[in-house]
């Protein structure tokens, strides 16, 4: 396992490849998940040296946090495991709404602590903004929890640049998580420069663009899940993206790696991106994700990949 890195200006040190756990107990997100397989995914990650686990209340809901808590308990404690979780979702009359109010965020942290069977959370994100709560007030509530020792760092996820600026009014935001990949690069226009300027770490989700950047699809591929409605997987856009992915195969071959490893390694060369959290449904996928760390890209290769996906 590679040397640990620090997340932004926090005192959290994590492995550059972590584990996203939306498929661990995320029965509302993926069909036919098995809880014991989910536990084994987490066990395997920890055994392989990964110390950074990313979860959320809404994965399940609640079940992902519960399974992680069970694995940590069976191991006899936290040791150096860094846990990130998220809150904001609330069920009202069977419907999901977002709530960033200080009272609800405080309640969310307490609930996560119980499910994770721990007395502190390393990184707690506001998962999505709501429509009403001033963002600096929401983050201010998390700052109080940080001062009380309930959380160690504060994150926001899926915030616009204006919402991020408001949230960071007092300089309390440590980490931003948002969608970003070689195909969807809009965050380079605002969020990433702001994060760099303010010492905030950025953690991308969907880094492989729902598998499109994994190098495993051909032009005749068909999809029956949400990708069937995703414009990236349709018509000329799909063909153009596959052509770009094909240009990475030579680099991957030279490295003895898969296209996905090259893509993930490229993100780790970016300013403010300290760590990645690829997911896994099966234990063997955890080990495969770690192969990213054996890929060393030259400056010329980094620039070439950048040019391919800017075209």
Residues marked as catalytic = 59
Beta-bridged to residue 102, according to DSSP, are none
Q: Is the peptide bond before 61 cis (omega within 30 degrees of 0)?
A: yes
CB 138 within 8 A of CB 100: yes
End-to-end CA distance of the chain: 35
CB 276 within 8 A of CB 207: yes
167 membership: H or E segment, kind and range: helix 161-167
> What angle (nearest 5°) sits at the alpha carbon of residue 279, between those of residues 4 and 81?
40
Q: What are the structure tokens assigned to 138, written together?
A: 């929401």
Nearest to 174 by CA among 199, 210, 209: 199
Report how many helices (DSSP H) and strands (DSSP E) the chain contains, helices first. Answer: 11, 11
């Amino acid at each position: 396992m590679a040397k640990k890195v620090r997340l932004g200006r926090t005192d959290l040190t994590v492995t550059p490849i972590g584990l996203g756990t939306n498929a661990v107990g995320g029965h509302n997100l993926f069909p036919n998940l098995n809880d014991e397989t989910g536990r084994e995914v987490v066990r395997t990650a920890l055994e392989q040296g990964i110390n950074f686990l990313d979860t959320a209340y809404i994965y399940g809901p609640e079940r992902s946090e519960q399974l992680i808590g069970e694995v940590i308990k069976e191991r006899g404690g936290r040791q150096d495991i860094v846990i990130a979780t998220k809150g904001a979702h609330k069920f009202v009359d069977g419907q999901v709404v977002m709530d960033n109010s200080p009272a609800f965020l405080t309640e969310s942290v307490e609930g996560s602590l119980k499910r994770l069977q721990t007395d502190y959370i390393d990184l707690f994100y506001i998962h999505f903004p709501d429509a009403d709560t001033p963002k600096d007030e929401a983050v201010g509530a998390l700052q109080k929890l940080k001062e009380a020792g309930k959380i160690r760092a504060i994150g926001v996820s899926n915030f616009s640049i204006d919402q991020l600026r408001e949230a960071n009014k007092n300089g309390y935001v440590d980490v931003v998580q948002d969608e970003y990949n070689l195909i969807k690069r809009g965050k380079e226009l605002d969020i990433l420069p702001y994060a760099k300027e303010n010492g905030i770490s950025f953690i991308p989700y969907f880094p492989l663009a729902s598998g499109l950047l994994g190098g495993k699809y051909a032009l005749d591929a068909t999809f029956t899940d949400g990708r069937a409605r995703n414009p990236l997987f349709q018509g000329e856009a799909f063909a153009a993206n596959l052509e770009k992915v094909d240009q990475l195969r030579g680099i991957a071959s030279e490295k003895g790696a898969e296209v996905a490893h090259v893509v993930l390694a490229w993100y780790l060369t970016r300013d403010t991106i300290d760590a990645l959290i690829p997911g896994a449904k099966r234990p063997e996928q955890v080990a495969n994700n770690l192969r990213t760390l054996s890929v060393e890209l030259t400056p010329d290769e980094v620039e070439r990949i950048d040019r391919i996906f800017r075209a």
